[in-house]
Structure 1
Amino acid sequence: MEYAPSTQKSYLHRMAPELICAILCSVEGLDGLLCAILSCHLFYSVFSRTPSAIIHQVFFNELNTHHVRREAIATLYASKLALVNPTISIIRVFFQDHFQQRKEFDTQLTIEEAAGASRLHAVVSSLAEDFSKTTFPELAAACGHASDTLELLASEKARIMRALYMAETFFNLFRTTSSNITEAVQRQCMNEFLVHFAPLEIEQLACIHDFLFRKVSPVFNDVAAHDVLWGEFQVEPALWLGSPELQFFLFKGLGAIRRIAAAKTYAEQQKLFNGIPGTRHLNLHRALKDFSYKESTTEDDSIPSFATSEDYDQGPFLIWKRAQKLGTLTNRAMLRSLGYVMWNQERLDNLGILQEQEWQLQRLVRDSLPNDSPVHEVTDERWLASWRERSRIHEQGGTGWWDFDDESQVVWPERKRRSTTDNTPTSLDEAKRAILALKRV
């Protein structure tokens, strides 16, 4: 008996396109969406009808999961502004659009913008996890508790990510400032950006700045100690938070910061640094150090009484309020390397911090990097000798990695290599010719 071929469609093919579109919109992350549309021709067909709308929804779902939608969109638009000549009015309008009027709800992103923002979001998420693994064990140890593996709570991660986005927005807004703008105007614009945030949020940003500095400085200092070109130009190690050379690389953004921090080999480091560093004397460190609500030119000069983002946990505010009574800005700055204003109240209660008297917070104060530039230039004899040796090598045409008693990785130009090896036979035939030449003499 012959059977007619079945024409019955699968359950998937019987679904309405609108339902499939809804399924695609609910996929977690753009990577998941890519896997979905490449796994099924029908999914791809439905996606190709309205790709922008689906990508837009998937990306926003990803941001909403961490409650950073507003901050992520603000960061994206800050990168598009590319301010060369910032003004206080431009900064003020930017803040109103993205932090007061919630403009992100009307935002329509291109596929390229959504993809770029999604990549940055992955970087921010990764750095938030790294922040918790780096700072909380040190805080716990300072409180006399075992530094167990931290399970970062969703609210804590969102808090850290918001501060990271805040830093990235700052870098984007002031990355390409023109040299034609006076220092006073640049400083006022940076202060205008900060003045719209609550004091607690600014302290959280300061914790992030400390964290980013510590991420980059080991790699930076390693290159400063060994690179021939950096030695020729006497690039100093980053020994204080406002190091203009290191701040130059912070302005490259969070993606570059993570790549630099992850670079393990000299070749990787050299490629990322790409020559001698520039300098950024007006930077996030300086803006935080000089910040004042009194310098705001807004009609309402009062300090914001609430944060720009909803945060229902009282832990960060309570520990910040206690820290204000330590007496000196330096002591409070020392707490930043512990990320002290990022943790929920229950976690701080478990450490016993919130039950203590204010003066007992002093025991958490630890050695920190200087806030101000060293009074004297580098005088360490080893550094001075290193610069002299690397300058000598540079004058002879050498480049690459160098260390005391180790020039094996210095790269010499071909003409130098030939001139130093012309008199040394490299084969048996060359040795015979050299001997015959000596006999003729």
Structure 2
Amino acid sequence: MLSAMRSRQKLCHLRSASPVENLPRVPPIYGLPTEIVAHILGCLDSRSLLSTILAHPLFHATFQTFQQHVLKEILLRLVPPQLLPLAFATYEAESIDYSDWNSIRRLLDRVHVRQDQAVSSPSPALGLPPLPLTHRMVAAIERIHRMIEYFTHDLTQRAIPRFNYIFETTRPATISPSEELRILRAFYRFQLYCNIFGRKAIESAGQANLTAPRTKDEVWASVTLSSKSPEDMLRELETFFWPWPRWANEQLACVFEYLEAVISVFFDDVAAHDVEWGWRKVDWVEPNIATPHRRFLLFNGLGLPYRLRHSDEFEIWKSLLDSADVGGTGTGKECIVTMASSLTESVAGRNSLIRLGLYNINYPRGLEGQASWKGIDDAETLPAQLWKVANGPYGSVLDRTNLLVRDAGYVFWDGYVGEAAEVMERVENCSWTFNGRLFPHEIPKLRQVMRRSWEKRSKIWLEGGRGYWVDDPVRIPSPKDSVGLTITDG
């Protein structure tokens, strides 16, 4: 018995002496070729990359050796090659001297030159800038692109059902690569505009002290200081808007009004219920007063609506809006410096071209612009043809009669929706149905409700009250509420 036990113990001992234990104790990862490690790093996002290279000496050493390759791979996986010039211009614009028109013009000219190369070349890397890439640069571009992807998905989900209803079609919920490019490009152009002209407008508003005027004369002086000179407006149009096709600017208008609708959900809620905003008499009903202020908030770029969308607390909404509100939302002043005015002038300034184009058999070829993307902006595409039908009679891309078709993102989609006369009839049928916020017959009643709430909240404020006011049960209709509204012909 004892002999058998000793035998088993000996066998166990022999089994434990496996050949593996005789190998050197070196982690297997050190055996990987550095090219494979660099490829692995290039498959990460910027946040994961930073934590990975700090987690192991091999990753850190490989990144130091192949830094440009790794960062280039991350960008090329994230951003479509055609959009890389816009993505880098948006990043550069965050720190550009917006008072130097030569710098602005050079930046925007580089976008158009690199854009032509990126669109026409099979090599994705041609869209990359000649300057060395840094982790900070890639992280900043990635942050903007993630926001743009989020809003692209949300806009698509909202717009396609409306497009199907208006044009009596059944286009799929998924979007094609060309449709996605148009939407992504419009959001990038919006952010680029905010990084240049938006920062300038915000700084001008702060310098003009718009938030605390004392007399009526000071109010008008502040507005004058914050408005654009004719020379600045012309430069802005020449460098930013006119190089693009008119329907590409209409795509920008679609994005602009979509983002205004996103902000309005939170703006209207705070304006209708916050005690301090009631004391300040912040208007959320009268379009001629309230709309310019909400639009001024958009100068802060995509970050503000994105943070609002990802916050669930009323106090956070108010804090975000207050911090962005250098234009003085609650003072009853007109803030006339908005992207809307520039978008309007981008067409109105060339109204003669539109009118001549109506009688030109090649119309809208004459309005394609030097920044047109082949296959995306051609005059034969559905966006160009629908733009012609919807905007031919008007001098503004933001004409209110076309609000519903912009809500449907009508200049983003491919396909066929009918003959011109039939399409015109459908556009006209929905032109006066709904102005995007309130039905006209609701405004007088809601204005009375708003003024009564101002009186009540002002009294609460003067007595030391703060926070959310729940006395008013009326829920003010907003773009969020109107998503499910039935669109009727009228």
Report the TM-score range of the alignment, normalised by the length of the smaller protein.
0.7 to 0.9
Instruction: Return the alpha-carbon distance in structure 1 between the equivalents of residues 273 and 150 of structure 2.
Output: 29
Q: Which residue of 2 aligns with 1:425?
A: none
Alignment of structure 1 residues 129-140 onto 2, 5 Å: 129-140=153-164
The equivalent of 2:284 in structure 1 is 237
CA contact (8 A) 1:70 1:104 kept: yes
Does residue 335 (structure 1) correspond to residue 382 (structure 2)? The answer is: no
Equivalent residue for 1:286? 341
Cα distance in 2, alignment partners of residues 255 and 181 from structure 1: 23
Looking at structure 2, the residues matched to 238 and 113 of structure 1 have their Cα atoms a distance apart, in angstroms, of 42
Partner of 2:267: 220
| Local SS of the residue matching 1:340 | coil
Gap change, CA 1:107 and 1:326, over 3 Å in 2: same
Contact 1:136–1:339 (CA under 8 A) maintained in structure 2:
yes
Aligned counterpart for 2:325 among listed residues 272, 277, 283: 277
Deviations 1:253-302 (A, max 9, x none): 1021122234333122123223693324211111112224858xxxxxx8
What is aligned with 1:5? 22
Q: What is the aligned counterpart of 1:120 among 136, 139, 144? A: 144
1:204, CA displacement in angstroms? 0.6
Question: What is the Cα-based RMSD across aligned positions, in Å?
Answer: 3.5
Moved more, 254-263 or 195-204: 254-263
Query: Cα distance 1:292–1:92, how it changes in 2: closer, same or farther (>3 A)?
Result: farther
1:246-261 → structure 2 map (5 Å cutoff): 246-261=294-309
Q: What is the aligned partner in structure 2 of residue 411 from structure 1?
A: none
Query: Which residue is equivalent to 2:107?
Result: 94
Distance in 2 (CA, whole Å) between partners of 1:387 and 1:244 is 20
Q: Using the TM superposition, give the Cα deviation of residue 212 of structure 1 relative to its aligned residue in structure 2, in angstroms.
A: 0.6
Deviations 1:117-146 (A, max 9, x none): 101110001100101001111111223456
Q: What secondary structure is seen at the aligned counterpart in 2 of 1:68?
A: helix
What is residue 397 of structure 1 aligned with on the other side?
464
CA distance in 2, matches of 1:361, 1:221: 29
Conserved 8 A contact 1:260-1:272: yes
* Number of positions where the alignment pairs a residue of Structure 1 with one of Structure 2: 387
Residue 206 of structure 1 aligns to a residue in which SS?
helix
The partner residue of 2:228 within 152, 160, 183 is: 183
Distance change (3 Å), C-alpha of 1:140 and 1:289: same
Runs of 5+ unmatched residues, structure 1: 296-301, 371-375, 407-441
Checking the alignment, whether the CA contact within 8 Å between 2:166 and 2:427 is kept in structure 1 is: no
**Structure 1 residue identity aligned to 2:188:** Y
Amino acid at match of 1:157: E
Distance in 2 of aligned mates of 1:19 and 1:212: 42
Partner of 1:266: 314
The alignment status of 1:109 with 2:128, answered yes or no, reads: no
Q: Deviations over 1:378-416 (max 9, x none)?
A: 98221111111111122122211113269xxxxxxxxxx
TM-score by length of 1: 0.76
Matching residue of 1:427: none
Query: Does the 8 A contact of 2:41 with 2:49 survive in 1?
Result: yes
User: Which residue in the other structure is 1:413 paired with?
Assistant: none
* Counterpart residue type for residue 337 of structure 2: L
> Does the 8 Å CA contact 1:212/1:257 hold for their aligned counterparts?
yes
TM-fit CA distance, 1:96: 0.9
Equivalent of residue 42 in structure 1, options 58, 61, 71: 58
Which residue of structure 1 aligns with residue 5 of structure 2? none
2:422 is paired with a residue of what secondary structure?
A: coil
Q: Is the CA contact (8 Å cut-off) linking 2:87 and 2:188 kept in structure 1?
A: yes
Aligned to 1:195: 242
Q: Which runs of 5+ in 2 are unaligned?
A: 1-13, 116-126, 209-224, 328-334, 351-365, 438-442, 474-490
Q: 1:60 to 1:30 in 2, by over 3 A?
A: same
Deviation sequence 1:182-228 (CA, Å, 0-9, x none): 63144334323212222111111011111111111111011001111
Give the conservation status (yes or no) of the 8 Å contact 2:405–2:427.
Answer: no
- Give how far 1:321 is off: 2.5
Name 2:41's counterpart in structure 1: 24
2:96 matches 1:81 = yes
